[in-house]
Amino acid sequence: MGLKGFTEGGIASIIAGASTHPLDLIKVRMQLQGESHIPNPSAIQSHRPAFALSSTANISLPTTLEVPPPPRIGPLSIGVRIIQSEGAAALISGVSATILRQTLYSTTRMGIYGVLKHRWTDPDTNNMPLVRKIVAGLISGAIGAAVGNPADVAMVRMQADGRLPIEQRRNYKSVVDALSQMSKQEGVASLWRGSGLTVNRAMIVTASQLASYDQAKEMILDKGLMNDGIGTHVTASFVAGFVASVASNPVDVIKTRVMNMKVEPGVEPPYKGALDCAMKTIKAEGPMALYKGFIPTISRQGPFTVVLFVTLEQVRRLLKDF
C-alpha cells in the first residue's frame, strides 16, 4: 500500500468532491436556514418609546422585538434561488476549498484506512472483521479531519457567504485568500474552529462510509449476487452513502453553524461551543433541525460515494502494476 493507497484515494476523492460540489453547497445553505443574522439577539431586549403618553391612556406598547423565522424552502427551490440572485457560478462557490479539503482530508483518511485494512485483513479469508473496519474508519477519519480542518472552515464560509446580507459578506476571492484573511483577522487558531466537531463527524462518516462499503461489497460477492464489477461497486456505494448520511447529519449541522458563525471583538458570539449550538438549535427549531438538509445531504452523499468508490476501483486497476 504505502504512497500508492494515498494517491488512489486522493484522485478518487478530488473527482468526487468537485463533481458533487453544487449539491454540497445547497446542503450547507439548508443547514443554515433558521439561523438569525443578528450577531447577538439577546442584546435586543427592550425598546423605550421616544415620547411619553399620559398615564391614563390605556395603550400598551411592545417591549420586545421579535424576529419571525424565515420560511423554510427545499433544496430545489434553494438551488433556483441561488442561480436567480447570485448567478449560476455561485453553485461552485468555494470549489477551490473543496479541492484543497479533499486533497488534505480525504487523501489522508483513505490512505490510512487502506494501510490499516492491509494490515488487519485476515490472510486466510482475505476479509477484515466489521469491528476492525469500523475502528480503522474511526482512526483514519480523525487524523484526516485534523489535517483538513482549515480547508473545511474555508469551504463552509465560502459556500455560505452568498446568503448573508451584503454588508456582512466576507467576499473571499479563493481558498488561499480565505485562509489568509482568517489568520490575520481572527488568528491562526480560527483555522481549527469547530475542529472537535470536524473530527467527530469525520470519524462517523469514515467509519460508516468505508466500513459499510467494504461490508456490503463482501456480502454481495460472498453470496454470488453479482460479480466484482461496476454493478457491485455502485450498489455497495449507495448502501455506504445512506448509512453515512443518517449517521453524520446531526453533527454536520452543528459543525456548519459553528464554523460559519461570525466572531467580532467585544460582541458575544452566537454559540459558545458545539453543545451550546446544539441546545440553541433544538430549542429554537426543534430536534428535527439536526436533520435539516438531509435530502441534499443524501442527494450529495449518494452520488459522491458512488463516484468516489467507482473511481477508486478504476484507479486501483489502472495503478495495479505500479
Residue 31 has pLDDT above 90, yes or no: no
Cell representation of residue 243: 448509512
The tens digit of pLDDT for each residue in 138-158 reads 999 999 999 988 888 888 888
Encode pLDDT of 163-218 as tens digits.
Answer: 777 877 888 888 889 899 889 888 898 888 878 878 888 899 999 999 999 999 99
- Residue of 203, 201, 180 lying closest to 191 (CA atoms): 180
pLDDT (0 to 100) of residue 271: 84
Q: Which residues of 296-312 are buried (b: 16+ CB within 10 A; e: fewer)?
A: bbbbbbbbbbbbbbbbb
With a CB cutoff of 8 Å and minimum separation 6, the contacts of 277 are: 254, 257, 258, 270, 271
With a CB cutoff of 8 Å and minimum separation 6, the contacts of 54 are: none
Rg of the chain taking only CA atoms, in angstroms: 23
pLDDT given for residue 141 in this prediction: 93
Closest to 129 measured CA to CA, from 117, 113, 141: 117
Does the pLDDT value for residue 43 go beyond 60? no
Which band of pLDDT confidence, cut at 50, 70 and 90, is reported for residue 125? confident
> What percentage of the chain reaches a pLDDT higher than 70?
86
Confidence of residue 70 (pLDDT cuts 50, 70, 90): low
Report the range of poorest mean pLDDT among 33-42, 93-102, 170-179. 33-42
Between helix 130-160 and helix 195-222 the angle, nearest 10°, is 130
What pLDDT, in 10s, does the model give residues 291-314?
Answer: 887 887 788 788 889 999 999 999
pTM score, whole prediction? 0.71
The dihedrals phi and psi of 126, each to the nearest 5 degrees, come to: 60, 25
Between the CA of residue 195 and those of 14, 18, 76, 103, 309, what are the distances in Å? 21, 22, 30, 17, 26
Which pLDDT belongs to residue 241?
92
CA-to-CA distance for 104 and 81, rounded, in angstroms?
32
